[in-house]
Structure 1
Amino acid sequence: MKVNPELEIIESLAKTILVAARTAPKGKGIDDIVTSLLDSRDLDELANRMEELSDIKGIKFLLRDAKNIRDADAVILIGLKSSGAAGLDCGACGFETCRGMLETRKVKKEFTGPHCMIKYLDLGVAVGCAASKAKDLCIDNRIMYSAGAAACYFDMVDADVAMALPLSVKGKNIFFDRPSTK
């Protein structure tokens, strides 16, 4: 008899979730999405980096989220490594033209930007598709800015912007009903 065998499949299911992110629709058909699946050593490193970023920025919820990362069964990172702009001159990035945005010196904080708004939308759709697939597979998850920000800030992922999707297969969703931070 195997006890709790559902934990044996989390890596395989995480890869299925990454397929949903990869195949999500992309603006103009250009795929600038990068994905990563963290192993157990990476989870500790990411949680440590989140705690470090909390000290640097004075953002307390990073500490709460770091505990969630440590308690997760797996963590997926989905990021954007922008290759340019959609060429629409739509102004959503805050510039009159795509050329103006592309010629602007990029700012590097947690994330690097500015980038084309269409690229940011692509990231949002990919992350949403991944979260939806995780739910379809009955895997508890939560989209986390905090873990993605730390991964980018400390160059754990080759992306300009990233979000994390921690995954958990436990009797209760560990990502909700968490203590609040102030």
Structure 2
Amino acid sequence: MKLNPETEIIELLAKTILVAARTAPKGKGIDDIVTCLLDDKECAELANKMEELSDIKGMKFLLRDAKNVRDSDAVVLIGLKSSGASGLDCGACGFETCKGMLETKKVKKEFSGPHCMIKYLDLGIAVGCAASKAKDLCIDNRIMYSAGAAACYFEMMDADVAMALPLSVRGKNIFFDRPSTR
């Protein structure tokens, strides 16, 4: 008899969740999405980096989120490594033309940018598809700017912008009753 065998399949399910991110619709069919699945050591490292970034930036919610990352059964990162612009000259990025945006010196903080708004939408759709797939699989999850920001800031993944999706298979959702960080 195996007790609690559901915890043994989390890596496979995390990969399934990343399939949802990969196959999400992309603007003009150009895939600039980067995905990764962290192992236990990398999850601990990410949580440490989140605490370090909290000290650097003074953002206390990173401490709460770092605890969630530590307590997670798996963490996936979904990022954007932009290869250009859509060529629509839509202005959503704040520039008159795509060429103007592409010629602008990139700012590097937690994330680097600006990027084409269509690329940001692609990232949002990919993250939403991943979170939806996690929910379809009955895996508790939470989209975290904080963990994605730390992963980019400390160059744990080759992405310009990223979001994290920590995953949990427990009797109680660890992302639900989180303490306030005011």
Aligned to 1:4: 4
Aligned to 1:18: 18
TM-score for the superposition, normalised by structure 1: 1.00
Aligned-partner Cα distance in 1 for 2:132–2:2: 29
Partner AA of 1:169 in structure 2: V
Aligned to 1:71: 71
The offset of 1:140, in angstroms, is 0.2
Does residue 1:120 correspond to 2:120, yes or no? Answer: yes
Aligned to 1:95: 95
TM-score for the superposition, normalised by structure 2: 1.00
Aligned to 1:175: 175
Q: Which residues of structure 2 form unaligned runs of 5+?
A: none
Aligned to 1:151: 151
Per-residue displacement from partner, 1:105-155 (whole Å, max 9, x unpaired)? 000000000000000000000000000000000000000000000000000
Aligned-partner Cα distance in 1 for 2:73–2:26: 29
| Secondary structure at the counterpart of residue 17 of structure 2 | helix
The offset of 1:44, in angstroms, is 0.4
| Secondary structure at the counterpart of residue 176 of structure 2 | coil
Runs (4+) of structure 1 exceeding 6 A deviation are none
| Secondary structure at the counterpart of residue 162 of structure 1 | strand
Count of aligned pairs between the two proteins:
182
Aligned to 2:133: 133
Aligned-partner Cα distance in 2 for 1:51–1:111: 17
In the TM superposition, what are the counterparts of 1:33-48 in structure 2 within 5 Å? 33-48=33-48
Q: Which residues of structure 1 form unaligned runs of 5+?
A: none
Aligned-pair Cα RMSD in Å: 0.3
Aligned to 2:55: 55
Partner AA of 1:172 in structure 2: K
The offset of 1:76, in angstroms, is 0.2
The offset of 1:12, in angstroms, is 0.2
Aligned-partner Cα distance in 2 for 1:181–1:17: 29
Aligned to 2:107: 107
Aligned to 1:32: 32
